[in-house]
Structure 1
C-alpha cells in the first residue's frame, strides 16, 4: 500500500526524477506545488527521496543518520546544531546592501564560481516577473541571486536535466530540499561529485502562494502583481522592520511595512502542514547554514546580519578566507548564540512535535518519520498554544481559498488570531515567571 497522500509535502520535486515521467508538479488548491499523478498514487520508488517519507530505509531514516554519512568528517557535534566546524555572525561588505540579510549566501556563490569549485549555481531567480530555480553561471550577474523569496518553488528540473549539464553544481535550499538532495546523493553516489556544495537557508516555515497574494493586497494591489520583493531593508530602522513590495499590472510599485500585517511567522498563517513535522531548524545537512541574526545586539542594525554554521572544512575555509582578506565582517561566536538566534523555531518545531504528532494520528494521518529524540513532553499551556497555531494555519489556507479577499480574511480570522495572541501571551508570562 502506498502511504503517501500529499498532506506532508513542501513540493521539493525530487520525486519527479524517480517516477519515469509518472509524476509532475502542479499547484494544489491551497497554493502549494505538489506532485500529482494520473491515478493519484506516488510510486514507492519515488518515495525513497522524499524528505517526509513515512517509511524510509533504516540507514537514511533521519537527519542524524544522513549527517553521519555526508558530514561525518566534521570536528564538532551538537544535539541542536548538528555536525559543524565553526559558528559566526556578521555580513558581507560587498553584498549586504543588495541582499535580504547579511549577504553571505551571495558572497559564497561568488567564491564558488570564482575559485572553480563549481561551474554552475542552481538557485532561485526572477523569471518573467515570477521566481523559480534556474541554472546560473555568470559571476558578473551574481547580485540577481541575492534576495529571499517566500513563494513555493521546486527542484523538479534539476535531477531530470542534470545529466545534460556539464560541470559541477552548487545548490541552495531550505532544510527539506537539502535533505531530498542528500537522499538522492545517497542512492546515486556520483551526484556527490556533481553537486559538491549545498548552501542551506534557515527556514521559518514554507509559505503558500496565498501568502504573497495576501501581502500584495495589503500593499494596495487589487489585481495581478509581479516582481515582488519580500525583504526591502530600512537602514535607519530595526533589522526586523523590513517591507514587502510588488508591481501591479500597470508596473506601478506598491510597498508596505511588514510590521503592519502582524506576526506572519509565529502565527503559522499560510504555512505548509509539513513544516509542523520538520525537526531541522538549522538546515543540518548542508555544507553551510545561513539565517538571520535575530539577537538583541543585532536587531538595531537595519541592514541585517547573518548567522553562519559551517559544516565542512571547505565551507569553513571559504568563510575564514573572507574574514582574512576583509571581504567579510564576521565575529566567531559560541554555538549557543546560533541556537538562541533561532530559539522560537526550536521551541515550536522540536518541543511541540510530540503533541502535534499525537493530535495528527488521532485524526487518521500517516505521519512522516521523525527523529525520536525530538519527542518531548510540554506544559498544558504550551500545548494549547500549539493546538491554536494548528487551527490558525489550517483556517488561514481554507479561508483564503474560499474568499481571496483581504477584508473577508481579516473578518474570518479575527477570533482565531485573537485567541492565539492571548494564549501565547499567557505562555510567555508564565515562562518569564518560571512557572513552566
Structure 2
C-alpha cells in the first residue's frame, strides 16, 4: 500500500502539528486524524492512497514546499497585499494596539477581542459562520472545532484551550455551507489554511477572514491530564477543563487551572504559578513547535495575544495585544473604538517586540541549535527564515536541555500518568535546565551592562 507523502515526510519525522488540512485535501479520502501514543492528533492511513501529493501541499511543516509559498514571507505577499508596514520578526501589519472588548472581557481568557471580532463579522454579514473551538461531547476529547452561527454560540467558545484540536471535521463541511466562513487558529493552522487557499483559490472567497492566536506552543493532551492529576482527578474523570480561570484581584498571569471531577462531582482548581514553568521548559509540547518561526501569527487578518507587559499585566481582568494586517481588520477595530465597544490604545512597535522577546529568543535565535541537531539525525527540516544566528555556549545548552525535557515529559507521562511520580522523575531534567537558564540570563544582563558602560565612556 502506498504511504501518503505527509505521513512519510512529516508524521514519521515528528513534524506533524495535527491541523488536519491533509485530511481535507486528500483526493482519495485515505486519511483520518487519530490520537498517537503521546497525546497528539496525527493523520493515519485508513484508505487507498493515490500518491497525489495534495496532502503535503497544505502541510505547514512540509519540508519540500513550492518556492512560491516557501515561507510566511511569500504567503504574506500573496494574501496580505493591502498592508503598508513590515517587520522581519512580526511580518506585515497595519497597526498595533493593547486593550480589551468591554462586553466580552470578563468571560474570556484575555481581553475578549476574539469574541468581539467574530461577533462583528457575523453581525455585519462579512461571514455567515465561524469555526472556533468549543467543548466536545465526545468522551476524553474535551474540545474540538465547531461551527458557530450566532453570538450566543460564540460565547461557548470564548476561552483559550490548551488541548489538541484539528480542523479536518469542520473543513469537510465547508463546501456544503451556504455562505462565508471565518476561522480562528494558531500560527501553523493559519498557515495551513493559506496553503489550502493557494492550492484552491476559491477558498479565499469562502474563507475571507482569519483570526490568529499568538501561541506559546501546542500542548499534548497529557498537559490536561497532568494538571488534573495535580488536583487528584484521574484522567477518565476529567470534565470541563478550564485552563485560564482569572483572578480579578490579582495579576493577569496569576490564573488557575480547574476541572470537574466526574467521580465526586467536585470542582477542583490549582494556581498555575504553583505548578512551575510549563511554557519555557517545553513540557508536553509538540516537536513541530520547535521548528515554527512564526511568533505572531503573521498570516492572519488580525493577530491576538496576551499583553504580557507593563502596565497591562497587572490587571487580572485581562488585556489583549492586537495586530491588524488587513483593511477589513482595521475597519473592524476603528469602528469598535468609535462605537465605544473597545478600550484600546496604540502600542509602539518597540513595546510589542519587547512583549514577545522570550518567544523571539527561543523560536528565532534558538532555531539554529535545533536545526543543527535535526540535521545530525538526518531529519528533514522545513525551510526557515531564521536559524543562522551565532549563539553562546550557555544559550546552546539551554536549547538542548529544553529539547530533552520536551521529549522526556511525553515519555515519562506515557509510562505513568500520575503527577507525583512524574514530578519526581522529571526533576533530574528540569533542575539542570533551571540552573543553566539562570546562568544564561545573568550572562546576558552582564553583557548588556558592559555594553552600556562602554557606551557611556564613549
TM-score by length of 1: 0.97
- Give, in whole Å, the separation in 2 of the partners of 1:320 and 1:97: 22
Q: CA deviation at 1:199?
A: 0.2
Aligned to 1:3: 9
- Give, in whole Å, the separation in 2 of the partners of 1:163 and 1:6: 32
- Give, in whole Å, the separation in 1 of the partners of 2:250 and 2:303: 26
Q: CA deviation at 1:345?
A: 0.5
**Cα deviation 1:42-68 (Å, max 9, x = unaligned):** 943210000000000110011000000
CA contact (8 A) 2:293 2:363 kept: yes
Q: CA deviation at 1:361?
A: 1.1
Where structure 1 has 5 or more consecutive residues not aligned to the other structure, the ranges are none
- Give, in whole Å, the separation in 2 of the partners of 1:209 and 1:171: 22
Aligned to 2:19: 12
Which of 231, 237, 254 is the equivalent residue of 2:244? Answer: 231
Aligned to 1:53: 62
Matches within 5 A, 1:276-425: 276-371=290-385, 373-425=386-438
Q: Does 2:115 align with 1:103?
A: no
In terms of mean alpha carbon deviation, does 264-273 or 38-47 score higher? 38-47
- Give, in whole Å, the separation in 1 of the partners of 2:329 and 2:148: 20
Q: Does 2:95 align with 1:83?
A: no
Q: Does 2:208 align with 1:199?
A: no
Q: Does 2:194 align with 1:182?
A: yes
Which of 72, 83, 99 is the equivalent residue of 2:81? Answer: 72
CA contact (8 A) 2:248 2:315 kept: yes
In terms of mean alpha carbon deviation, does 148-157 or 319-328 score higher? 319-328
Aligned to 1:26: 34
- Give, in whole Å, the separation in 2 of the partners of 1:283 and 1:131: 22
Q: CA deviation at 1:158?
A: 3.0
Aligned to 1:156: 168
Aligned to 1:140: 152
CA contact (8 A) 2:119 2:150 kept: no
Moved runs in structure 1, 4+ residues, more than 4 A?
38-43
Q: CA deviation at 1:140?
A: 3.1
**Cα deviation 1:282-321 (Å, max 9, x = unaligned):** 0000000000001021121111110000000110111111
In terms of mean alpha carbon deviation, does 215-224 or 290-299 score higher? 215-224
CA contact (8 A) 1:350 1:375 kept: no
Task: Name the SS of the counterpart of 1:110 in structure 2.
Answer: helix
- Give, in whole Å, the separation in 1 of the partners of 2:66 and 2:107: 42
- Give, in whole Å, the separation in 1 of the partners of 2:86 and 2:167: 29
CA contact (8 A) 2:32 2:46 kept: no
Q: CA deviation at 1:374?
A: 4.5
CA 1:351/1:39 → structure 2, altered by over 3 Å: closer, same or farther? farther
**Count of residues paired in the alignment:** 435
Aligned to 1:257: 271
In terms of mean alpha carbon deviation, does 2-11 or 240-249 score higher? 2-11
Aligned to 2:221: 209
- Give, in whole Å, the separation in 1 of the partners of 2:316 and 2:185: 25
**Cα deviation 1:344-384 (Å, max 9, x = unaligned):** 0111001010111001111221222222x443121111001
- Give, in whole Å, the separation in 1 of the partners of 2:48 and 2:288: 19
Q: CA deviation at 1:40?
A: 11
Task: Name the SS of the counterpart of 1:229 in structure 2.
Answer: strand
- Give, in whole Å, the separation in 1 of the partners of 2:408 and 2:211: 33
Task: Name the SS of the counterpart of 1:296 in structure 2.
Answer: coil
Aligned to 1:120: 129
Which of 39, 43, 51 is the equivalent residue of 1:35? Answer: 43
- Give, in whole Å, the separation in 1 of the partners of 2:270 and 2:298: 34
